[in-house]
Amino acid sequence: MQSNIFADLNNEVMSSNKKFNRYTVTAALPYANGPVHIGHLAGVYVPADIYVRFLRGKGQDVAFVCGSDEHGMAITLRAKKDGITPQEVVDKYHAIIKDSFQEFGISFDIYSRTSSKMHHETSASIFSKMYEAGNFETKVSSQYYDEENKQFLADRYIIGTCPNCSFDNAYGDQCERCGTSLSPSELINPKSALSGAEPVKRETKHWYLPMDQYESWLKDWILKEHTEWKPNVYGQCKSWLDNGLKPRAMTRDLDWGVSVPLQDAEGKVLYVWFDAPIGYISATKEWAHLNGKDWTPYWKNSDTKLIHFIGKDNIVFHCIIFPTILKASKEFILPENVPANEFLNLEGNKISTSKNWAVWLHEYLADFPGKEDVLRYVLCANAPEAYAKVL
């Protein structure tokens, strides 16, 4: 099994149509609302680590970056549940996650976090440059508001029935059962995730990225230039593009996140899926600073190969939204591949942090000291796809 994996990886590195002098490999930023579980390892971190270790063994120049995703609904909901502040939540789980990865042996060059000063400055700078270039549309729209909690509801604060598959616990931005990208207004019988009450509509102003203006480019870039992508990734992208893209708000009415760097945006933060992928860039900058290196070739030079390892629930964000941000900014390279693996199930159900259904890595490490390679082998042997074929 191992010989086939490394033979295929060697073919991928040596037979590419492009000549790459360095590799930027990212692993999906885990939410700092809970520990890392074995589903995370199987789907993202073990395959990414295999690939990076192989590249290093071939003498390639690699930056392997990751970090905690510390903004968004999942963090604030955990804070409300635990009766603590969002900062206390992310501090707790960032430490657990970082220590678990280190003890397990995932060979990141840097494990950063999106609450860092470097990340806030990088995200705000990219947003400001895009704003000054006219990349956003300002719109006043009616959005859901929770009268009991006296706040607007971000997409994932709204739960309802999916209009596509009738799953009754779909989020306002995506159905986790069928993978359909949604907007809150499409949900049937929407409820506030905070209070459980039916939300009302109120007007608010936000800055939208006109995704529809990039639809033609995305079709050419993905559907024509990247037919080699995994079927689950290519298929989901094709489905979204065939259905047509709409402008998507890149700001939210929240008090936790990266503040929108505009004078008339008080009380608003950047959409978590605007700032979170930029965490790859800010982590690379931090790594370069710590090691006396220049970060720019790893994100701006055409002879760099950018690879995102993700779970399948993040395909739309890494293949549609983030590449559009990178394209609009006119500064950065685009991913050459986005291998997204299937979910690992536990007793027939998807492993889930929010539902507390998981085998937690930090508990495994405590219960079975020195058995890291045993778990790595079992996850590789039982993976629903061959890691050798993802690239």
Q: How far apart are CA 257 and CA 86, in angstroms?
A: 10
Residue 128 shares a structural domain with residue 9:
yes
Contact 134/104 with Cβ under 8 angstroms? no
Is the model's pLDDT at 357 over the cut of 80?
yes
Residue holding tokens 């002879």? 303
Residue 356 shares a structural domain with residue 293:
yes
Q: Is residue 154 left, alpha or beta, with left meaning phi > 0 and alpha meaning psi from -120 to 50?
A: beta
Q: What is the mean pLDDT of residues 48-73?
A: 96
Contact 215/245 with Cβ under 8 angstroms? yes
Within-domain flag for 363: yes
Q: What predicted TM-score, i.e. pTM, was given to this entire model?
A: 0.88
Cβ-based neighbours of 191, under 8 Å, separated by 6 or more? 158, 159, 160, 197, 198, 199
Contact 314/321 with Cβ under 8 angstroms? no
Within-domain flag for 75: yes
Cβ-based neighbours of 265, under 8 Å, separated by 6 or more? 207, 251, 259
Residue 30 shares a structural domain with residue 41:
yes
Contact 229/336 with Cβ under 8 angstroms? no
Of 154, 177, 208, the last residue of a domain is 208
Is the model's pLDDT at 55 over the cut of 80?
yes
Residue 372 shares a structural domain with residue 298:
yes
Q: What is the mean pLDDT of residues 90-109?
A: 98
**Counts for the chain of helices (H) and strands (E), in that order:** 14, 16
Contact 173/182 with Cβ under 8 angstroms? yes
Q: Phi first, then psi: what are they for 312, rounded to 5°? A: -70, -20
In this prediction, residue 185 carries a pLDDT of: 87
Looking at 193-197, 368-372, 374-378, which range is the least confident one?
A: 193-197
Residue 122 shares a structural domain with residue 177:
no
In this prediction, residue 134 carries a pLDDT of: 97
Is the model's pLDDT at 305 over the cut of 60?
yes
H or E element in which residue 95 lies:
helix 86-104
As a whole number of Å, the end-to-end CA separation of the chain is: 17
DSSP string, 351-375: -BTTTTBS-BHHHHHHHSTT-HHHH
Is the model's pLDDT at 1 over the cut of 50?
no
In this prediction, residue 150 carries a pLDDT of: 84
Within-domain flag for 57: yes
What is the domain range of residue 162? 137-208
Number of folded domains that form the chain: 2
Within-domain flag for 244: no
